[in-house]
Structure 1
Amino acid sequence: MSASRWMAAFTFAAFLSCSVAFCDSYTPRNPSPFGPDWRAQDDWSYPRDPMQGWPFGQAPETYPPNRYQRHSHTPEPHIAPRHEEAKPRPDPAERLKKALAPPPDPNVQREQALKNLQDRLQAAQDADEAKGLAGLIQEIWLRSPSPTANLLIRRAGAASLAKDFSSAEDILDRLVLLQPNWAEAHNQRAQLRFLTGNFQGAMIDIDETLRLEPRHFGAMTTMGLILEQTGFEAQALTIFRKSLTVYPHQPAVEALVKKLTLAVEGRDI
């Protein structure tokens, strides 16, 4: 090999060693805005696709402080899938049966709701609970499936509040003819007849009310008042006590029971 070739080879080797030494000691003054100097990183395990994140996005937290230090990604802990109890799939035949079933009878639903409230009323522990349940029961009693009947009973109530008892009774007469199986229609007319002194007509309506609704505490109370005012104190006491078994914690009725008990059962003392 000629001397010129030896000189060229020596010069290239010296240049290469100087370049390597310079790169080892080089620290960039202005690092890349994309994070550490990823262009000098020789770990090609990092993604270089801009759609995959770093180095074009946020650098990982596990990036080593030395940009030449080779490292591996810390694998994320494996999270076992959450196994829930498999819910049984509904039977298509059952779903079809429910879809084709006729809607529940409103009268049956009304009777079930009324029975539930009446049972809770009989087991009430204090006057406030009993009063609230009694109010709910009376709301059900005052509702009829017929919009016309509901309108008539409201008009009768308005006429009674205005002391127009004659018009109120005429309306209730038509209501009873329209809805003969509605217990509250008979009860409203019984109360009106009691207020006007028609005790015989009131007792007829009370009997019909209790036939249709045996636990109608309002009709029982009206019957007890009629019996008391007509001199049948013992029978009135029996009716008031029965009313308290259906609707306990009635202060007015309890006072009447106390008074009649003293009058009827305390005579021989």
Structure 2
Amino acid sequence: MRYATLITLTATSVAADCPEGQDYTAQIAALVAQMQVAPDERAARALSGQMWEIWLDAPDALAQGMLQEGVALLRMGDTNASRAALTELIDYCPEYAEGYNQRAFAAFLSGDFEGALIDLDRAIVL
């Protein structure tokens, strides 16, 4: 948890400094086109994995650490701590769609379906 505290303190002190993330529009479009003609499920899954690598690429190292913490907490089953960590990520990088997507998943797993839908709507807009 020392890492989580460091992220929290750092994010609080530089909240206005989240850079704009890389634009992956062309890469995602190319992967979608390839997926539409994928010869089998295995090939489609490989392309899906490439999409996830793009989506999970946060705008900077601080945001990446926050995302990884939130996802790790979710995998450990601590949806409340995960949501808190992902909320910090969203506060720091409000234009990073994957922060909302992951927080929506944590909300869904904790039974907060309304919260999940709100975050999913925001992720889709972004």
TM-score normalised to structure 1 length: 0.38
Q: For residues 3-44 of structure 1, what are the alpha-carbon distances to aligned partners after superposition, in whole Å with 9 as ceiling and x for unaligned?
A: xxxxxxxxxxxxxxxxxxxxxxxxxxxxxxxxxxxxxxxxxx
- 8 Å contact 2:90–2:100 — kept in the other structure? yes
Q: 2:27 aligns with which of 102, 113, 116?
A: 113
- Tell me which residue corresponds to 1:157: 71
Q: For residues 200-259 of structure 1, what are the alpha-carbon distances to aligned partners after superposition, in whole Å with 9 as ceiling and x for unaligned?
A: 0000011111112xxxxxxxxxxxxxxxxxxxxxxxxxxxxxxxxxxxxxxxxxxxxxxx
Q: 2:118 aligns with which of 204, 215, 221?
A: 204
Distance 2:58 2:73 in 1: 19
Larger helix proportion of the pair = 2
Summarize the Cα distance change of 1:107–1:157 in structure 2 as closer, same or farther, 3 Å threshold: closer
State percent identity of aligned pairs. 32
Structure 2 unaligned blocks of 5 or more: 1-20
Letter in 2 for 1:200: E
Letter in 1 for 2:33: D
Distance 1:148 1:137 in 2: 21
Runs of 4+ in 1 over 2 A off after TM superposition: none
Q: Which has the larger radius of gyration?
A: 1
Q: 1:192 aligns with which of 106, 109, 121?
A: 106
Distance 2:22 2:76 in 1: 33
- Tell me which residue corresponds to 2:9: none
1:126 aligns with 2:37: no
**Relative contact order (C-alpha < 8 Å, sep 6+): which is higher?**
2
SS in 2 for 1:186: helix
Distance 1:125 1:204 in 2: 36
Distance 2:74 2:66 in 1: 12
- Tell me which residue corresponds to 2:82: 168
Distance 2:33 2:93 in 1: 26
Letter in 2 for 1:157: V
Compute the displacement of 1:123 (Å): 2.3
SS in 2 for 1:107: coil
Q: May I ask how many residue pairs the two structures share in their alignment?
A: 106
- 8 Å contact 2:86–2:102 — kept in the other structure? yes
SS in 2 for 1:184: helix
Compute the displacement of 1:165 (Å): 1.7
SS in 2 for 1:145: coil
Distance 1:145 1:159 in 2: 20
Q: 1:182 aligns with which of 72, 96, 114?
A: 96
Distance 1:190 1:145 in 2: 19
TM-score normalised to structure 2 length: 0.78
Distance 2:75 2:22 in 1: 30
> What RMSD over aligned residues (CA atoms) do the two structures have, in Å?
1.4
